[in-house]
Amino acid sequence: MEFKLEAHRIVSISLGKIYSARGQRGGLKLHKNLLVSLVLRSARQVYLSEPGCPPEPPPAASGRGGPRLPGADCEGPRPRRCCCGCSCCCAAAGGEANRADCAAAAEAAAPPPPHCPRKRSAGERGQAGSPVKKPRREVEEEPPPGEQEDMETGNVASLISIFGSSFSGLLSKEPKGRRRAPLDGGEATVATTPTDAAAEPGQICCDEPVLRTLNPWSTAIVAF
């Protein structure tokens, strides 16, 4: 439990660092941001893989209204789930909430990566009846990693992420107000290395809808 709290805190701090890295004089520091992304990945893995009850959300998590069902996800290893819109996703506790989740995941038509189900565990906070997912998405201080893994399945194919595929898994659905214009006019492309073909350090070319979700990350990627 403590580890989860600490992991969560580290995830928040790391995201903040990447966010603020954009304004740095001299451009993005590749080394530092690589290290931050490694920490992010470790922390997120711990956060998602640790069994047991999730921590009570810190006060900042205004979006997570409603009582949690304490037993809802205090399960052992989760059964494998498919993340791409199948109703079986929603079979876990907190059906309605997960349905919203799956709807989000269904936006992206990509096959689920094998690790996706485990990571959904954090997203299934077992809130029966309350539209938990939507408000949670608005809370950018603590992007729920599990939920973002849903996005990962769809977005990973169309995102450019320097720091590893798990990085892209942390992209959250930012509130629409924070959308940024695509850097170069928003050409859709895939996560190969058009960046190399473009300018080196390259600029990201992303789908408009994907960019919306990319918001805090585009800064991390922009310099390269």
Partner 1 sequence: MEGESIYEADSGDGLGADIISTVEFNHTGELLATGDKGGRVVIFQREPESKNEPYNQGEYNVYSTFQSHEPEFDYLKSLEIEEKINKIKWLPQQNAAHSLLSTNDKTIKLWKITERDKRPEGYNLKDEEGKLKDLSTVTSLQVPVLKPMDLMVEVTPRRIFANGHTYHVNSISVNSDCETYMSADDLRINLWHLAITDRSFNIVDIKPANMEDLTEVITASEFHPHHCNLFVYSSSKGSLRLCDMRASALCDKHSKLYEEPEDPSNRSFFSEIISSVSDVKFSHSGRYMLTRDYLTVKVWDLNMETKPVETYQVHDYLRSKLCSLYENDCIFDKFECAWNGSDSVIMTGAYNNFFRMFDRNTKRDVTLEASRESSKPRAILKPRRVCVGGKRRKDDISVDSLDFTKKILHTAWHPTENIIAIAATNNLYIFQDKVNSEMH
Q: Tell me if 31 contacts partner 1 by CB under 8 A.
A: yes
Q: How far is the CB of 122 from partner 1 (least distance, A)?
A: 17
Q: In Å, how far are 11, 114, 117, 161, 222 from 50, measured between CA atoms?
A: 15, 18, 14, 26, 33
CA 21 to chain centre: 19
CA atoms within 13 A on the CB side of 146: 26
Q: Tell me if 109 contacts partner 1 by CB under 8 A.
A: no
The site map against partner 1 for 114-153 (x = CB under 8 A) is ----------------------------------------
Q: Tell me if 79 contacts partner 1 by CB under 8 A.
A: no
Q: In Å, how far are 5, 72, 149, 156 from 170, measured between CA atoms?
A: 17, 24, 7, 10
Closest to partner 1 by CB, 6 or 56: 6
* # residues near partner 1 by CB under 8 A: 37
Closest to partner 1 by CB, 176 or 192: 192
Q: Which residues, in sequence order, are CB contacts of 197 under 8 Å at separation 6+?
A: none
Q: Identify the burial level of 210 via C-beta atoms within 10 angstroms of its C-beta, where 0-12 means exposed, 13-18 middle and 19 or more buried.
A: buried
Answer for which of 149, 215, 217, 224 binds partner 1 (CB under 8 A) is 224
Answer for which of 42, 49, 61, 110 binds partner 1 (CB under 8 A) is 42
Start-to-end CA distance of the chain, whole Å, equals 37
**Could you list the residues that contact partner 1 (CB under 8 A)?**
6-7, 9-10, 13, 17, 25-27, 29-32, 34-35, 38-39, 42-43, 46, 160-165, 167, 191-193, 195-196, 199-201, 223-224
